[in-house]
Amino acid sequence: MHLEEIIQKLDLKVLTNPVDFSAITVSSGYCSDLLSCVMTGAEPDGLWITLMAHGNIVAVAALLDLAAIIITENAQPDDDTIEKANEKEVILLSTKASNYHLIGQLWELGLRATQS
Amino acid sequence: MIPPLIVQAAVEHGLNLIAISDHNASDNVSAVIEAAEGSDLTVLPGMELQTQEDVHVLCLFDTLEQLLKFQSLVDENLPDIENNSELFGEQFVVDKTGDFLKRKKQLLITSTGLSFNKAFHAVTDLGGLFIPAHVNRKMFGLFYHLGFVPPDLPIEALELSRHITITEAWKQYPQTQNYPLIQSGDVHYLDDFLGANQFFIKNPTISELKLALRNEEGRHFSVCQPS
């Protein structure tokens, strides 16, 4: 599934600089608000759903080569975090939906959990 | 845990510097400072803040004024929920003798809306000391919630719980090797004193504590086991 389709169907706000989202393939989904769990649980090219907006999320996503982070419940990362995400080419998306709601929608679109 | 008994217990343990650091609150700090007047005990005003990310941080100040300024920021960022004493216990405010003054209504056990980074800047801008607390614990510890210490913040020190030794922490959380580590008493009841940190400083002030944490100008510190 391409990120473009997810952004459009779920009406996500793009917080970082726009890129060609149709060229980005999303392989799986993962959700946690505890960064230590994400570091061992999320998979490369996966989509991470969280309401954590702390700047450390960028480093975690860059480390794991995630396709994008969707920040839920309108949690707002600060400007430094968005700037760092642009620098590290990490895509930050935002929605007012909750983790639960968003994951339900992603599942309906056919995106499944990580393999491990 | 009323002010005169806190002072008495601290003196009996041979302490001459303690901090009062209630969860998201500071209402009882002045009572303990007053209760310690005339004794050899210095009481630093503090708070255990729970950030937006559910990370506990020890915030220490020199003066009540600084703490109260920080408290007003915390209050603005606490959710408007009233405490349920059956679920979460009482939130009493007392005077220096321990007499009841009032019940704090606002629920304190929850996280504030203050992000870790915002809180860091607010505390340090006020001249305070910002020490992430019990960083090794799953409940409210920095490593569990934030994964690692944000490298862009000049954090002076980390506090480990007494569940772990410093050498174990170095192994489990290698980033702790880059920071001065303290292990506080974390006294929630008068009889659960878990130990102290010994600071070799000229005066009981935040600037002296910082010098000791940095091992500068002859100041230094060490972690003591309970006696």
Cα nearest neighbour of B140 on chain A: A34
Average pLDDT over residues B161-165: 92
CB atoms closer than 10 angstroms to residue B214: 14
Q: Does residue A101 sit at the B interface (CB-CB below 8 Å)?
A: no
What is the enclosing helix (H) or strand (E) of B9? helix B3-12
Answer yes or no: are the C-beta atoms of A20 and A105 closer than 8 Å: no
Q: Which pLDDT score, from 0 to 100, does residue A23 have?
A: 97
Q: Which pLDDT score, from 0 to 100, does residue A82 have?
A: 97
Query: For residue A64, what are the CA distances in angstroms to A35, A60, B194?
Result: 12, 6, 39
What span, in angstroms and rounded, lies between the C-alpha atoms of B204 and B166? Answer: 25
Cα nearest neighbour of A57 on chain B: B146
Most B CBs within 10 Å: which of A54, A73, A87, as the mutation test of the B interface? A54
What span, in angstroms and rounded, lies between the C-alpha atoms of A80 and A22? Answer: 26
Answer yes or no: are the C-beta atoms of A91 and A3 closer than 8 Å: yes
Q: Measured between beta carbons, which residues in chain A are less than 8 angstroms from residue B145?
A: 33-36
Q: Which pLDDT score, from 0 to 100, does residue B177 have?
A: 97
Token pair 């007392």 in the structure block, residue? B94
pLDDT exceeds cutoff 80 at A6: yes
Query: For residue B78, what are the CA distances in angstroms to A78, A85, B24, B25, B83?
Result: 19, 29, 9, 11, 12
Cα nearest neighbour of B114 on chain A: A54
Q: Measured between beta carbons, which residues in chain B are less than 8 angstroms from residue A50?
A: none
The whole model's pTM is what?
0.90
Q: Measured between beta carbons, which residues in chain B are less than 8 angstroms from residue A54?
A: 52-53, 115-117, 146, 150
What span, in angstroms and rounded, lies between the C-alpha atoms of B148 and B161? Answer: 17
Distance from CA of B143 to the nearest CA of A (A): 7
pLDDT exceeds cutoff 70 at B227: no
The DSSP symbol for A22 reads: G
Tabulate helix, strand, coil % of chain A (nearest 5): 40, 20, 40
pLDDT exceeds cutoff 80 at B225: no
Angle, in degrees to the nearest 10, between helices A79-87 and A56-64: 20
pLDDT cut 70: percent of chain A above it: 98
Q: Which pLDDT score, from 0 to 100, does residue B226 have?
A: 63
> Tokens representing A18?
């726009």
Q: Does residue A38 sit at the B interface (CB-CB below 8 Å)?
A: yes
What span, in angstroms and rounded, lies between the C-alpha atoms of B218 and B42? Answer: 21
pLDDT cut 90: percent of chain B above it: 83
Average pLDDT over residues B46-68: 97
Q: Does residue A12 sit at the B interface (CB-CB below 8 Å)?
A: no
Question: Could you read off the pLDDT of B171-196 as tens digits, one per residue?
Answer: 999 999 999 999 998 888 888 888 89
Q: Does residue A35 sit at the B interface (CB-CB below 8 Å)?
A: yes
By a Cβ cutoff of 8 Å, what residues of chain B touch chain A? 52-53, 115-118, 143-148, 150, 152
Maximal CA-CA distance, chain B: 50
0.90 surpassed by complex ipTM: no
Average the pLDDT over each of A40-54, B73-87, B132-146 and give the range with the smallest value. Answer: B73-87
Question: Could you read off the pLDDT of B130-145 as tens digits, one per residue?
Answer: 999 999 998 899 999 9
Contact state of B115 with A54 under an 8 Å Cβ cutoff: yes
Give the model's confidence band at B224: pLDDT under 50 very low, under 70 low, under 90 confident, else very high.
confident
Q: Measured between beta carbons, which residues in chain A are less than 8 angstroms from residue B143?
A: 36
Cα nearest neighbour of B144 on chain A: A36
Question: Could you read off the pLDDT of B4-20 as tens digits, one per residue?
Answer: 999 999 999 999 999 99
Answer yes or no: are the C-beta atoms of B106 and B81 closer than 8 Å: yes
Tell the burial category of B9 from Cβ atoms under 10 Å away from its Cβ (0-12, 13-18, 19+).
middle
pLDDT exceeds cutoff 60 at B39: yes
Q: Measured between beta carbons, which residues in chain A are less than 8 angstroms from residue B144?
A: 34, 36
Q: What is the mean pLDDT of chain B?
A: 94
Contact state of A54 with B116 under an 8 Å Cβ cutoff: yes
**Nearest to residue B62, comparing CAs of B45, B84, B80?**
B45
Tell the burial category of B158 from Cβ atoms under 10 Å away from its Cβ (0-12, 13-18, 19+).
buried
Question: Could you read off the pLDDT of A52-74 as tens digits, one per residue?
Answer: 999 999 999 999 999 999 999 99
What span, in angstroms and rounded, lies between the C-alpha atoms of A41 and A46? Answer: 10
Token pair 């060229």 in the structure block, residue? A23
Distance from CA of A99 to the nearest CA of B (A): 15
Q: Which pLDDT score, from 0 to 100, does residue A116 have?
A: 56
pLDDT exceeds cutoff 90 at B164: yes
Tell the burial category of A23 from Cβ atoms under 10 Å away from its Cβ (0-12, 13-18, 19+).
exposed
